Structure 1
Amino acid sequence: MNLPVLITGASSGLGLETAKVLAAQGVPLILGCHNVERAEAARQQILEHAPAAEVELLDLELASLDSVGAAVKELHNRTQPRLGAIVCNAGLQIVDGVRTSEDGYELTFAVNHLGHFALVTGCEDLLESGARVVVVSSDVHQGPRKSMGFPAPQWRAPRELATPGEGSGRDGRIAYANSKLANVYFTYELANRWGDRGITVNAFDPGLMPETGLSRGYPAPARIGFRFLAPVLIRIMPIARTVAKSAADLAWLATGPELAGTTGKYFTGAAEVPSAPESYDPERAAELWQVSDELVRTARQIPPAERR
């Protein structure tokens, strides 16, 4: 049975381009999006690209854990609920102060990590042996030596990372780097917990993609410059890639037969590479898992014995 791939943040950028690649290969898709109009527009683009594609839409707002819970319930209520893969692609970067999620958590941490944590763990019983989870991280978690000067993470206790505070644009970029380090911790912990079930979990660095909308929070001059300089940046910057190239690599991680037994790894493009030395700290990964579970249950008022 050709099981569907669920992609978060699939209405634009890397998520949409990855969906197009998979649709052309005949892979059924579930697009997790928080904007209905943009989601429908994305579906139409995919169908223009691959007219025979099977594309379902899933209402999913990662900044709201109740929305994530409702999406998990909807997935379980599908006629055939099993999933072939979950691609945790959605992400945001905030450079204009501090924002909070619907549940009162720092928004970058909430969307980039906590919402995906709730989604994936809530769908545990829909994933069987051979299924995959791919978590889109970034080399910004490795600090300036790998990210062309982007601020390094400043890891703190997970509850502190989830707590909003006063901040500047630089603090927002540090929060983004922390969230991408959290993505790697989540990947490694999930791979350890689910490894005996035959489910593979890997992290993916798509590189700097000047064509995408991740810079939408930056001032207008920076956004315009980024857009017009994109072709040049892709040619001259070692970490820059086209969206098409990164989408092909991400689709391969989600379905490529060569990776059937590969788990708990970090990929930059199609290359398996080491993540940051601090990302291999098992105590931090375990603490992040425990606290994330507690934060989800607290926000949704779920007793400890329940997960959905």
Structure 2
Amino acid sequence: MPRQRWTAADVPGQHGRVAVITGANTGVGFETAKVLAARGASVVLAVRDVDKGKRAAAQITASVADADIRVQRLDLASLASVRAAADELRDTHARIDLLINNAGVMYTPRSVTEDGFELQLGTNHLGHFALTGLLLDKMLRVPRSRVVTVSSAGHRQGGPIDFDDLDWNTNEYSRVAAYGHSKLANLMFTYELQRRLSGKGEPIATAAHPGGSDTGGSRASVSRQSALFRAAFALVRPLLIQSSEMGALPTLRAATDPAVQGGQYYGPDGFSESKGHPKVVKSSARSYDTAAQRRLWTISEELTGVSFPV
């Protein structure tokens, strides 16, 4: 008997549920939002560029009858923006069922956030850490609520996180390693959050990665490489890259499948987890280091000034 492959058709009804998705105006986040809206969820597109968010909302509304879509300004590279967005979301919604930490930057040149953090760690991890902490009490004891954080197979890139030099002030900057560290931090955050939530009912914390998805971020990262790299990548691209619709499936499964357990990590089931249908996958050995998870948590609280109600 052929194995059953999980698809968007397996997403259960989401009527009456509120889903907040960061970076939902394009790529995997957009496709995630579209499916959840089609299943009846009230979806908040939390995006840096409100105009792009409105265009994305219009696209979803045009294809999904009676879609309930709102746009929320959120710049994860600014803690002030994160706090303002969280305040607005808390005022607007009595409860939040799904928080999908999807937005991110990839392979950027050396830069810092508004608060002085290295851009990739500051955006991909610290911004989401703060947002989750500020919204979590709206998710406590909400049936089937989940925090889903989108990581990447790239979490295996680079060495262990240097907690004494998170902003690369001493070490020579590597945009590939810095990205890898930010995605490793996403997983360490998920596992530590689940441990703190364990035994408290809802929500649960899960993680996902899209594999090699055809998104604006992935195309931009390839465009920054050498001509030789781009030529070689063009040859293997069909083996490694899938559509954004397929790339959204691990996130959708982590967010909605009733069988999902806290602390699980979902990715594609194909070669090297680049393409395919979602299944439970394993992350790197470093991501399971509980001492490192706790240290990252403590540092993240100190840097963001956000404490969690768990």
Length-normalised TM-score, structure 2: 0.83
Contact 1:212–1:243, Cα closer than 8 Å, also in 2: no
Partner amino acid for 2:192? E
Contact 1:108–1:176, Cα closer than 8 Å, also in 2: yes
What is the SS of the residue equivalent to 2:140? strand
Contact 1:98–1:164, Cα closer than 8 Å, also in 2: no
* Alignment map for 1:1-150 (pairs within 5 Å): 2-78=16-92, 80-95=93-108, 97-129=109-141, 130-142=144-156
Report the Cα offset of residue 66 of structure 1: 0.6
Segments of structure 2 that go 5 or more residues without pairing to the other structure are 1-14, 269-277
Residue 174 of structure 1 corresponds to: 177
Partner amino acid for 2:85? A
Contact 1:72–1:122, Cα closer than 8 Å, also in 2: yes
**Aligned CA distance change for structure 1 residues 63 and 159 (closer, same or farther; 3 Å):** farther
Residue 294 of structure 2 corresponds to: 286
Report the Cα offset of residue 254 of structure 1: 1.2
Count residues in correspondence: 281
**Aligned CA distance change for structure 1 residues 115 and 7 (closer, same or farther; 3 Å):** same
Report the Cα offset of residue 235 of structure 1: 3.5
Distance 1:235 1:86 in 2: 32
Residue 11 of structure 2 corresponds to: none
**Aligned CA distance change for structure 1 residues 63 and 243 (closer, same or farther; 3 Å):** same
CA displacement, residues 274-303 of structure 1 (integer Å, 9 cap, x when unaligned): 111111100000010010000012xxxx8x
Distance 1:210 1:233 in 2: 14
Residue 149 of structure 1 corresponds to: none
Distance 1:208 1:164 in 2: 31
Residue 186 of structure 2 corresponds to: 183
Partner amino acid for 2:26? S
Residue 255 of structure 2 corresponds to: 254
CA displacement, residues 119-176 of structure 1 (integer Å, 9 cap, x when unaligned): 001111100232101110011123xxxxxxxxx22223435224556755xx001100
Distance 1:71 1:83 in 2: 14
Contact 2:47–2:72, Cα closer than 8 Å, also in 1: yes
What is the SS of the residue equivalent to 1:123? helix
Residue 146 of structure 1 corresponds to: none
CA displacement, residues 215-259 of structure 1 (integer Å, 9 cap, x when unaligned): 425546879x979x77x756423xx33211121332222122232
**Aligned CA distance change for structure 1 residues 209 and 42 (closer, same or farther; 3 Å):** same
Distance 2:140 2:53 in 1: 27
Distance 2:197 2:138 in 1: 13
**Aligned CA distance change for structure 1 residues 164 and 54 (closer, same or farther; 3 Å):** farther
Percent of aligned pairs sharing the same letter: 33
Greater share of helix:
1
Contact 1:140–1:180, Cα closer than 8 Å, also in 2: yes
Contact 2:209–2:251, Cα closer than 8 Å, also in 1: no
Length-normalised TM-score, structure 1: 0.84
Match of 1:204 among 201, 208, 214: 208
